[in-house]
Amino acid sequence: MTNGFIGGIHPDYKKTLTADKPIEKLSYEKDEIVSVPLSQHIGAPAQELVKKKEQVLCGQKIGASKGFISTNIHSSVTGEVVSIGNLNSPLTGKVKGINIKISNPEDSPKQIDTGKKFQDLILEAGIVGMGGATFPTHVKLSPPKKIDTLIINGAECEPFLTCDYRLMIESTEEIIKGAKIIQDELKIEKLIIAVEDNKPEAIKAFNKYIHGFNFEVKALPTVYPQGGEKQLILSVLGRIVPEGKLPLEVGVIVHNVATCKALYDAVENGLPLTERAVTVTGAVKEPKNLLVKIGTPVSKLIDACGGYVGEPEKIVIGGPMMGFSANTTDMPVSKATSGVIVFRKEDLPSLKMTNCIRCGRCVSACPMGLVPAIMEQFAISELYERLLDWHVLNCIECGCCSYVCPARRPLVGYFKTGKRQVMNIVKERENK
């Protein structure tokens, strides 16, 4: 069996730490504080709708979508708004958010209006891509052209993470029903659920529903980044998404399994997105999969897992390949938080950088067919026009190049920075 795409890597997956741990609902106490960020998605932050000292209900909309690429934010608890200010964020450093003191820890979410048009209902529920991309789902569900195939992404190719795996086993039918809602609403001909073959129980769970719901389950080779949208589409359908284009260009949309579950909860039960499953693992006493309210501090998740084992050196929010280092645990869980991974010094490889030895491993590993070793020189020299010519905008920032580099060159870091400069060049050209 081939990958379906060129390149990719096989890191030490470490999923056995939590793969057999059912999702455990985290409990809360009266007077605890949750901090709900107003920016939990790609695009414009939501506009706050509440003021200090205001009482809010669990599920109440507290942030309104501000633009097409934006979505709503809801309170994950019932309580009092104690302050509105800046919260710590692993992605941007600081982000505006709302601090709420819990008054009734057992309150269920207030329901949204389900009588709206499909896309408006999804916007109302505040659903975003929960695989980490956080693209507002109502936008993705408004394709300007005909889509013939819906792929549900159950690859979960990041090492350590198993929250999607557990969701696929424990909420199989809800995920399928969420996917069928999308298929029916957008009149999509084909539904395929794609899962890496290191998750046999998930594949078995989906296979039980094939005849009742009419879809296909595709088992894919275990290789990182199999779950990248472009890699997934190539592996499943053999279609290549053109550079700078979205999957809809080749008649496809891709949704994560957790997103489908959230969509089902919104359409069938009127529930806004106020909680998510998170894998907490690495150097903690009892690694777990936890169902947590949006806004819960990361420190509470680590405490729920018995605290640290040894001295923590690095904490990653998300997966170890594409996640972000956190310099504090005083930051809230957001809709994007799929994992909290604690590393000790002895868990981390040496990152002492040396000169490039021209081994070409980064070229072999790149799943987008790029030449990172040469692109690095353009990025360091700030030759952004050349970097554009070498297709840096096609970089998916998966980190494969940095992972295999024996000289420990921080290649993907250069490209993340370089892409921002290159985008400015592209915009200037478009405005001429």
pLDDT at 429: 84
pLDDT in tens, 3-45: 679 999 999 999 999 999 999 999 999 999 999 999 988 889 9
Give me the percent of the chain exceeding a pLDDT of 90. Answer: 90
Q: What angle do CA 59, 62, 66 make, to 5 degrees?
A: 125
Assign 84 a pLDDT band (cuts: 50, 70, 90). Answer: very high
pLDDT at 114: 85
Is cis: bond before 225, omega within 30 of 0? yes
Residue 232 clears pLDDT 70, i.e. is over it: yes
Contact 316, 339 (CB under 8 A): yes
pLDDT at 200: 96
pLDDT in tens, 104-148: 999 999 999 888 899 999 999 999 999 877 899 999 999 999 999
Q: Where do runs of H (alpha helix) occur along 355-399?
A: 361-365, 372-380, 384-389
pLDDT at 428: 86
pLDDT at 2: 54
Residue with tokens 């300007």: 144
pLDDT in tens, 363-406: 999 999 999 999 999 999 999 999 999 999 999 999 999 999 99
What pTM does this model have? 0.95
Assign 226 a pLDDT band (cuts: 50, 70, 90). Answer: very high
Own/partner pairs for 85-89, CB < 8 Å, 24+ apart?
Answer: 87/35, 87/37, 87/331, 87/332, 88/326, 88/328, 88/330, 88/331, 88/332, 89/37, 89/39, 89/331, 89/334
Token pair, residue 152, equals: 């549900």
| Main-chain dihedrals φ then ψ at residue 37, nearest 5 degrees | -70, 145
Token pair, residue 362, equals: 């980064």
Give me the percent of the chain exceeding a pLDDT of 70. Answer: 99
pLDDT at 1: 45
Output the CA–CA distances (angstroms, integers) from residue 270 to 114, 249, 258, 393, 403, in the order listed. Answer: 6, 32, 16, 39, 43
